[in-house]
Amino acid sequence: MTAFVDLYTEGDTFLHRMDPRVKILGVVFLTVLALIIGNLYYLLTLLAAIGILLALGRAKLSKTLYALKMVLRVMVLIVILWPFFNPTGTPVLFHYGIIKITQPGIIKGIAVAIRIACLASVWYILMFTTTQRDLVRALVKMGLRFDFGLALSIALRFLPTFGAMVESIRDAQRARGMEFDRGSVFKRSRKYVAVLVPTIVGALRTADTLSLALQSRAYGARKDRTYLRDFSMRTSDYAALALFGLALALPAFAKYALNVHI
């Protein structure tokens, strides 16, 4: 659970030093770019560019593969099933009864799978190179209300805690002889009540302790806020933002203004 929620990898690359607001806007621009591109070769180029950025951000291969594990399964399913549900175009490679598989259908399925890979991996650029604290701070500076930012920060902080709590309770119940993987679906579901109830009680205790901690620090007493660590835009950040903007603007202009197939 911790590895899933916090993918940040310590480093001192230019992506780590980049203003988090630029990275947020950059991955949004690249996400939109992945959605407007339909050509397989352009999508592969975009995926390669994202891979280069991940490599420059010193993202560990093991952590990248762990994060993409579920996405890879979806990609394989799309490549296999897409030609059966989209049998358009020619040449026809296989035809038996209602089943027809065409070359354009296979190419389109691969393109959609590559687009899914782009949509997933581009956000890892942000997650691998930005701490949760800086991410929440950037969202607040971009206009998110501070109390919403605090709620997001608390959620990101305590999700691994609750995940560890659930595993601890399950291990304790197994030590008492409870077997969660035996019996019918209904019986297994009933057994998880023994995990659910202690988890809810623990979550309520944590919420009560957290509220007391916030009150003891006079949270909400003043509207203006100070920050131990803040960040501001530099020349390199403006240049990176301009590059991200051009990466989206030029293909979008070519497709929608010049009617170029991309």
Token match 């992506």: residue?
15
- CA dist 238 → 24, 34, 132, 231, 253 (Å): 13, 22, 22, 14, 22
Q: Which amino acid is at 15?
A: L
Asked whether the CA dihedral 75, 80, 81, 84 is positive or negative, the reply is positive
* Cα–chain center distance at 257: 31
Q: How far apart are CA 262 and CA 46, in angstroms?
A: 12
99 secondary structure, DSSP code? E
Q: How far apart are CA 126 and CA 31, in angstroms?
A: 12
Asked whether the CA dihedral 233, 228, 132, 153 is positive or negative, the reply is negative
88: tokens are 């358009």
Pairing of strands 99-102, 92-96: antiparallel
The phi and psi torsions of 12 (rounded to 5 degrees) equal: -130, 40
Contact 21, 141 (CB under 8 A): yes
pLDDT attached to residue 110: 92
pLDDT attached to residue 235: 93
- The CB density around residue 229, as the number of other CB atoms within 10 Å, is 7
Q: Is the peptide bond before 91 cis (omega within 30 degrees of 0)?
A: yes
Q: Is 219 helix (H, G, I), strand (E, B) or coil?
A: coil
Task: From first to last of the 262 residues of the chain, give the pLDDT tens digit.
Answer: 444 456 788 888 999 999 999 999 999 999 999 999 989 999 999 999 999 998 888 877 777 777 778 788 889 999 998 888 888 878 888 877 788 888 888 999 999 999 999 998 898 888 889 888 888 888 888 888 888 887 887 877 777 788 788 888 888 888 888 888 777 778 878 888 888 888 898 888 888 898 888 888 877 777 777 777 778 889 999 999 999 999 999 999 999 988 888 8
Interior/surface letters 65-101, b for 16+ CB within 10 angstroms, e for the rest:
eebeeeeeeebeebbeebbeebbeeeeeeeeeeeeeb
Asked whether the CA dihedral 48, 49, 54, 55 is positive or negative, the reply is positive
